[in-house]
Amino acid sequence: MDATTLPPDLRVAVVGVGVMGADHVERLATRTKFARVSVVNDFDTAKASRLAGTVPGCRAVEDPFEAITADDVDAVLLASPGRFHAEQVLAALEIGRPVLCEKPLALDPADALQVVRREAEHGSPLVSVGFMRRFDREHEELRASLAAGELGTPLMVHCKHRNASVPGHFDDRMMVYDSAVHEVDSVRYLLGEEIVSASVLKPTPSENAPAGLHDPMLVLFRTASGRVVTDELHLTTSAGYEVRTEVVGSRGSATIGLEVGRLTTQLPGGRWGGSVHADFRPRFRDAYDVQLQRWVDAVRRGEGVDPTSATAWDGYAAAVVCEATARALDTDGAPVPVELATRPPGPSSDHHEEQR
Ligand SMILES: NC(=O)c1ccc[n+]([C@@H]2O[C@H](COP(=O)([O-])OP(=O)(O)OC[C@H]3O[C@@H](n4cnc5c(N)ncnc54)[C@H](O)[C@@H]3O)[C@@H](O)[C@H]2O)c1
Ligand SMILES: O[C@H]1[C@H](O)[C@@H](O)[C@H](O)[C@@H](O)[C@H]1O
């Protein structure tokens, strides 16, 4: 299809317009080509109405399912809390509407698997999951470096995930389902293999951590080929937002996040520097922009999903790993196995294979 035959601007419904949803509305309304926000919805209806008033041609509706199925909507972006995602994705799938779902796809792996199966029944891909690190230049460079064998055999991955603070309702499970889920997807994306077990160590909590929150926390993953991943979650640093990922290989190492915006290596001749963002929005602004533009472009071409995005299967795999990790919160460091269902044949799984 050439540019002259493409449909007009994609009309997007954004469901959940809190921190991330409002950021996506602004992105779609001001920086994304060939897209506009036609409908917004939020549990807080006043918030949705106020936002709609700032976006030309946008209206607010009170029911998320009305937004998802509205006639003046071509595609749906979900930024509601994770526990609502699966039912909202399924509503879009029921009417064959493309949907970009912020992470996590679901909290319960059974719900995520239902999405995978429903999409497979539909017969063509419609579900993208917002693991935006896949669109970050440093992550793309590191993945390409690994694929080219520049570091030799990857042996270990060390991740650091630091937030200045977290909302008051955050608990240990949310540290896993809302935060560590990013590292789960990064590791699968970078190494191209599954995580097979998870364990958790809980040091003495920081004095910044709200009562009951085990922050910081160290999560250990083992992959199918025997690689070990360390994931330091420290979400109440009061400093800023830091995402670091170091892959240690047999011939060198490479690190994301030392110098924002570029991959910093520790190979001979490499160098490093640093700066810290306040939160995820400035750190991953370019990645979110690329993610949404590629999604809009793909959906306008009639493809349903952008092939570089995380799929429903990726969302399912992440949910299974998170469930095992959440169980490992109570095993005093003992590993909990991760058991994935058999991947059903279908669009999500085919696409997953293509990416490997
Ligand atoms: N990819 C990223 O880097 C990133 C960053 C932040 C948040 N997120 C994800 O985005 C989602 C939203 O996170 P947030 O930080 O914006 O949270 P938030 O609490 O700021 O916003 C969530 C909004 O959803 C509304 N809401 C609650 N229930 C709803 C429902 N059933 N239907 C529609 N709206 C509902 C709330 O009123 C609120 O305005 C979460 O899934 C989170 O994990 C992703
Ligand atoms: O929902 C947010 C978001 O996904 C951020 O990227 C992450 O750093 C936070 O820990 C999490 O709470």
Tens-level pLDDT at each residue, the chain (356 residues): 454 556 689 999 999 999 999 999 999 999 999 999 999 999 999 999 999 999 999 999 999 999 999 999 999 999 999 999 999 999 999 999 999 999 999 999 999 999 999 999 999 999 999 999 999 999 999 999 999 999 999 999 999 999 999 998 999 999 999 999 999 999 999 999 999 999 999 999 999 999 999 999 999 999 999 999 999 999 998 888 889 999 999 999 999 987 655 555 544 444 444 457 889 999 999 999 999 999 999 999 999 999 999 999 999 999 999 999 999 999 999 999 999 999 888 665 444 444 43
Ligand 1 test: best mutation among 42, 128, 173, 177, most atoms within 8 Å of CB? 42
CA angle at 15 for the pair 355 and 93, rounded to the nearest 5°: 55
Task: Tell me the CATH class for 3-132+287-312.
Answer: alpha beta
* Sheet hosting strand 10-15, strand order edge to edge: 59-61, 35-41, 10-15, 75-78, 99-102, 127-130
Question: Under a CB-based contact definition with an 8 Å cutoff, are residues 186 and 143 in contact?
Answer: no
SS3 161: strand
Instruction: Please report where in the chains the tokens 């294979």 appear, as a residue.
Output: 353
Strand partners, 223: 195
* Nearest-CA residue for atom 19 of ligand 1: 18
For residue range 231-286, what is the model confidence (pLDDT) as tens digits? 999 999 888 888 999 999 999 999 998 765 555 554 444 444 445 788 999 999 99
Sheet of strand 336-337, all strands in order from the earlier edge strand to the far edge: 262-265, 252-259, 242-249, 154-162, 228-234, 217-223, 195-201, 336-337
What is the C-alpha to C-alpha distance for residues 207 and 219, in angstroms, rounded to an integer?
20
Q: Would you state the pLDDT for residue 355?
A: 44
Nearest atom, ligand 2, residue 243 CA:
8
216 prior amide bond cis, ω within 30: yes
Ligand 2 lining (C-beta closer than 6 Å): 163, 178-179, 182, 235, 280
Average pLDDT, the chain: 92
- pTM of the shown model: 0.94
Please indicate whether residue 79, judged by its CB atom, sits closer than 6 Å to ligand 1: yes
Q: Which CATH number fits domain 137-283: 1.20.1730.10, 1.10.260.40, 3.40.1280.10, 3.30.360.10?
A: 3.30.360.10
Domain boundaries, the chain: 3-132+287-312, 137-283
Do the Cβ atoms of 14 and 21 come closer than 8 Å? yes
